[in-house]
Amino acid sequence: MKRTPRARLFLLGMLAALGLTHPAVRAASDAQPLAKPAPLVVAGGKPKPAAVKPLAAAATNTYAGAHALYRAGQYAAALSACAPAIQKGGAEARQAQQLQGQCLCALGLYVEAVSCWEKLLAREPKSTDADELLLELARTCAFELQQPARGRTYYERFFQAYPVHPRMGEARYQYAGSFLAQADYAAALPLFRQFVQTYANHHLVGKA
């Protein structure tokens, strides 16, 4: 059912009273990056350029080289460097595939990033990084691709597989935000209330 502007203002007022702001705007900027490879994304959803030493041509074909290029803000070059690192196989191949998805996201190629992570998750659904992949897929689908229902399928898989997790509060906040993103205020409001009650000291409440 289509909501009136008055209904929207009412919900936003309720969110303010709960100490929250609109999550469709906040979700991407507050999201954490994949745990492996290492912290890459900062507030605003874009990786922060970092000073790196010049890389030898051969070094750029390794995961470490691709990672250094990514941190330097050279996303297209990092993306190119991921391919040979993946082809080499071994322990770093999976990290290179994760980084490949991060590069695609940094370049605004969200459909391709989601496809990359979905394939990675499908091959090893119980890998040690499956929790982070589920959260990244959920956030990217819900807020970057603007497909909230699709994103919620990944949030719900995360909730079921990891009932106790350090990032559960963040996931619950974004899950509620996915309903607000599609103007389903009746579903969003009780979820935000539950979030505040359960995670009263969470940074997403304190920063609002």
Task: Give the span between the Cα atoms of 137 and 140, in whole angstroms.
Answer: 5
Task: Tell me: pLDDT of 114 over 60.
Answer: yes
Q: Which amino acid is at 148?
A: P
140-198 pLDDT, tens digit each: 999 999 999 999 999 999 999 999 999 999 999 999 999 999 999 999 999 999 999 99
pLDDT at 36: 42
The rounded percent of the chain whose pLDDT value lies above 90 is 55
Q: How confident is the model at residue 205 (pLDDT cuts 50, 70, 90)?
A: confident
Share of the chain above pLDDT 70, in %: 70
Contacts (Cβ under 8 Å, ≥6 apart) of 43: 29, 30
Query: What are the angstrom distances between the C-alpha of 120 and each of 13, 134, 141, 161, 182?
Result: 41, 11, 16, 17, 28
Model pLDDT for residues 14-41, shown as the tens digit of each residue: 566 555 565 554 554 455 545 444 433 3
Give residue 92's pLDDT band: very low, low, confident or very high (50, 70, 90). Answer: confident
Q: Output the pLDDT for position 91.
A: 75
pLDDT at residue 89 in the model: 81
Supply 140's token pair. 């990217």
